[in-house]
Amino acid sequence: MMKACDGNADRVMREYAYFSPELKAILEKVAEIQSINARAVGVFQEPKSSPWGDVQTCDTLCPGVFLVSTASHGGSMVAMEMSAALSPAARKCGFKHSGFLCFEEDCQESVVLRELLDKKLWAVPDRINDKAAFEENINKSIREYNPDYWRARQMGIEKIAARQEPTLAYAAER
C-alpha cells in the first residue's frame, strides 16, 4: 500500500478504507512524522508582506522563523506552526499578522533571538566576532523592553537548576 501511494502514509489512509487498529495506529504515527519532517525541510513559505510593508529581504533563522526587512522597518516573523516552539512568555511579546507571530525589530525581536539561542535552533552568525557581546546586547534589550519576559525566562532557568541540584548532590554522595 505504501509503495502504491508513493510512501505517503496520509494518502494510504485516505485511499484505503479498512485497517486493523494496530495498522491504523502505525500509519497515523508515520503520517505525523512525515508531516513534521516535511515542515522542517522548507515547507514554510517566506513571507512576501509584513506588518511593516512589503518584504525586501528575508533571511531564514531556522525553519519557519524569518528575519525580514522592508523599505522602512522590519522584524522577525514566526510561522504560527513554529510559534509553538517559543515559550508562552515569548509568544506574549509578539502579535499576529497573516499566519505569523511578529516581533518588531527595535524592541521585540531580541526575544525571538534569545529563545532560538536557548533552544539551540539558531546560532550567532560566524560574521559576528564577539559572540558574547552580541548575546549580552540581546539580553540588555530584553531587560529594557520586555522585563516580564526576562523575569519569566530567569524563573524558568532557576527551576531547571533547582531540579538538577538534587541529582548532582545524590551523585556526589555516591
What length does the chain have?
A: 174
Calculate mean pLDDT across residues 56-72: 94
Partners of 29 in the beta sheet?
none
Query: Whole domain around residue 103: which residue ranges?
Result: 49-162
Same domain, 53 and 106: yes
Residue 58 pLDDT level (bands cut at 50, 70, 90) = very high
Same domain, 82 and 115: yes
Check whether 171 has a pLDDT greater than 60.
no
Whether residue 4 is contained in a domain is answered as: no
Same domain, 16 and 59: no
The C-alpha atoms of residue 40 and residue 143 are separated, in whole angstroms, by 31
Q: What is the pLDDT of residue 8?
A: 75
Residue 127 pLDDT level (bands cut at 50, 70, 90) = very high
Same domain, 34 and 63: no
Check whether 88 has a pLDDT greater than 90.
yes
